[in-house]
A = this chain, B = another copy of it.
């Protein structure tokens, strides 16, 4: 034993997980209620609260079908903070989090783009690196973006200067690109949310 969760709560968790797997989306509160003979959505909510407290369910408040079972196994790579001498590298104490490309903290990317040239060397983005891009045509000042200038895609830092947009390289060997905001030559594809490189 040791687990203070009722059999009914378990059955509900199982139902949610199975529904999600079978048809691609979790059930609604009312669907759960119908299945278990609970007539009030609040009765179902009572169980969802319980499951969430146990960490068995993740919840997105307000969203339809927002009760989502936590995956049993953690995906991605273990992130270590500072490695301590002594105990083995992958021991629990050393694990700071998990790295999963499709679930970043700050915003999950839509695609990766291979970078050509050294114009962003100063920002640690080298020739051949891949930038992870979140599609978003409205970057904020100072963010690194992927832009299409005419026929060329380019990675630069984005600044708005009145009517104009400045695409600023981070390498003194290169000059900034300045265009009017409404230019048909300019298309902002998205912003860079991550950088990735394979070495060796």
Partner of A64, one of B65, B79, B105: B65
Expressed in whole angstroms, the minimum distance between the Cβ of A148 and any Cβ of chain B is 6
Whether, in the assembled complex, A69 has its beta carbon less than 8 Å from a beta carbon of chain B, the answer is yes
Chain B residue with Cβ nearest A195: B197
Binary per-residue interface labels of chain A (172-200) against chain B in the complex, 1 for a CB within 8 Å, 0 otherwise: 00000000000000010101111111111
With known contacts A102-B22, A104-B198, A106-B198, A64–B193 Cβ distance under 8 A: no
Whether, in the assembled complex, A100 has its beta carbon less than 8 Å from a beta carbon of chain B, the answer is yes
Whether, in the assembled complex, A130 has its beta carbon less than 8 Å from a beta carbon of chain B, the answer is yes
Whether, in the assembled complex, A116 has its beta carbon less than 8 Å from a beta carbon of chain B, the answer is yes
Partner of A198, one of B23, B65, B193: B193
Partner of A200, one of B15, B107, B135: B107
Whether, in the assembled complex, A96 has its beta carbon less than 8 Å from a beta carbon of chain B, the answer is yes
Expressed in whole angstroms, the minimum distance between the Cβ of A183 and any Cβ of chain B is 13
Interface residues of A in 115-149 (CB under 8 A from B): 116, 121, 124-126, 129-130, 132, 135, 137, 143-144, 146, 148
> How far does the alpha carbon of A83 sit from the alpha carbon of B116 in the complex, in Å?
11
- How many copies of this protein are present in the complex? 2
Partner of A199, one of B84, B89, B192, B197: B192
Chain B residue with Cβ nearest A191: B200
Partner of A150, one of B77, B85, B110, B197: B85
Contacts of A76 in B (CB 8 A): 101-102
Q: Is the CB of A82 within 8 A of B23?
A: no
Given contacts A89-B110, A192-B200, 13 further A-B contacts (CB under 8 A): A18-B110, A24-B69, A25-B68, A35-B110, A36-B135, A65-B65, A76-B101, A79-B113, A85-B187, A104-B198, A105-B198, A106-B200, A195-B196
